[in-house]
């Protein structure tokens, strides 16, 4: 049975009751609509009130969703690149020109394949973008791990395991360098302090006094990355 779809200012939102304690809104690329995950026990009146107060967030999620068409703007290392159709592709899925800020691709006629191959491309680029930043941050903080993993994730920028390993979201290859630095520092700090207590944020601020600016970029632009999962 398909779950109910409502419309907020003309934007489709699918209501998805789950066994959870909070409400979360996210863009679903496959359905081209907003998913609203909410606790099964939540009353319809409280859910309606929540969505009324989150109209701006719904608009942001919808407007930031990426559609692979010619001349669409795609982020790469924090810069906007214009997508151009390249019919033969020269055997390559993506040809990036850093001077003209364009990315040529033959995949615009196959949306599913475009997203799949773009995630593959970011996975190949991730070590080139992340590894020097990791070494710099480890040296700066004195915190380090021998286990770094890079993979695409639907809703998290990174994670630190109890075993001391750190995973970074490869979609961060699309973000500016100073934002990636923040995520790396954030996860390294979790090796020392596993929660988000004031002590944790003091640790982050000690090494990165302007972390709030970097964190705000993810808040304001994060869906431009996550919508390509």
3-state helix, strand, coil in the chain (%, to 5): 45, 25, 35
State mean pLDDT over 188-198.
94
Residue 15 pairs with which residues in a beta bridge? 36
State mean pLDDT over 153-175.
93
Domains of the chain and any CATH numbers: 5-64 (no CATH), 73-117 (no CATH), 125-226 (3.30.2010.10)
Provide the percentage of residues in the chain whose pLDDT is more than 70: 99
Would you say residue 30 has pLDDT above 80?
A: no
Judge whether 73 and 80 are in contact, CB under 8 Å.
yes
Q: Report d(CA 120, CA 11) in Å as an integer.
A: 30
Q: Given this model, what pLDDT does residue 223 score?
A: 84
Would you say residue 226 has pLDDT above 50?
A: yes
Q: Which residue has the tokens 């070590």?
A: 127
Highest mean pLDDT among 61-65, 85-89, 93-97, 152-156: 93-97
Residues 6+ apart with CB under 8 A from 102: 81, 82, 83, 84, 96
**Encoding tokens for residue 18?**
């789950």
Residue 66: band (very low, low, confident or very high) from pLDDT cuts 50, 70, 90: confident
pLDDT digits 0-9 by tens, 122-135: 999 999 999 999 99
pTM of the predicted protein model: 0.80
State mean pLDDT over 63-90.
89
Q: Given this model, what pLDDT does residue 89 score?
A: 63
State mean pLDDT over 189-204.
95
**Encoding tokens for residue 197?**
């207590």
State mean pLDDT over 194-212.
96
Provide the percentage of residues in the chain whose pLDDT is more than 90: 75
State mean pLDDT over 147-162.
92
State mean pLDDT over 82-97.
88
Residue 1: band (very low, low, confident or very high) from pLDDT cuts 50, 70, 90: very low
Q: If residue 75 lies in a helix (H) or strand (E), which one and from where to where?
A: strand 73-76
Q: Report d(CA 205, CA 196) in Å as an integer.
A: 13
Least confident stretch, 21-35, 158-172, 191-205: 21-35
């Amino acid at each position: 049975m398909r779950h109910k779809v409502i419309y907020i200012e003309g934007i489709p939102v699918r209501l998805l009751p789950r066994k959870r304690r909070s409400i979360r809104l996210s863009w679903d690329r496959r359905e081209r609509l907003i998913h609203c995950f909410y606790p099964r026990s939540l009353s319809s009146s409280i859910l309606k009130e929540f969505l009324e107060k989150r109209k701006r967030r719904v608009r942001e999620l919808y407007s930031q969703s990426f559609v692979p068409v010619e001349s669409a703007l795609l982020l790469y290392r924090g810069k906007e690149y214009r997508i151009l159709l390249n019919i033969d592709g020269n055997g390559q899925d993506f040809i990036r020109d850093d001077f003209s800020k364009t990315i040529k691709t033959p995949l615009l006629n196959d949306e599913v394949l475009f997203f799949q191959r773009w995630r593959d491309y970011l996975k190949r680029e991730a070590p080139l973008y992340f590894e020097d930043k990791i070494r710099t941050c480890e040296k700066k903080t004195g915190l380090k791990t021998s286990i770094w993993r890079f993979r695409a994730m639907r809703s998290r920028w990174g994670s630190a395991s109890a075993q001391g390993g750190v995973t970074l979201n490869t979609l961060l290859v699309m973000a500016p360098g100073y934002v990636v630095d923040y995520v790396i520092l954030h996860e390294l700090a979790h090796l020392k302090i596993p929660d988000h207590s004031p002590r944790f944020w003091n640790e982050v601020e000690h090494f990165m006094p302007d972390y709030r600016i970097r964190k705000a970029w993810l808040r304001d632009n994060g869906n431009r990355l996550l919508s390509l999962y």
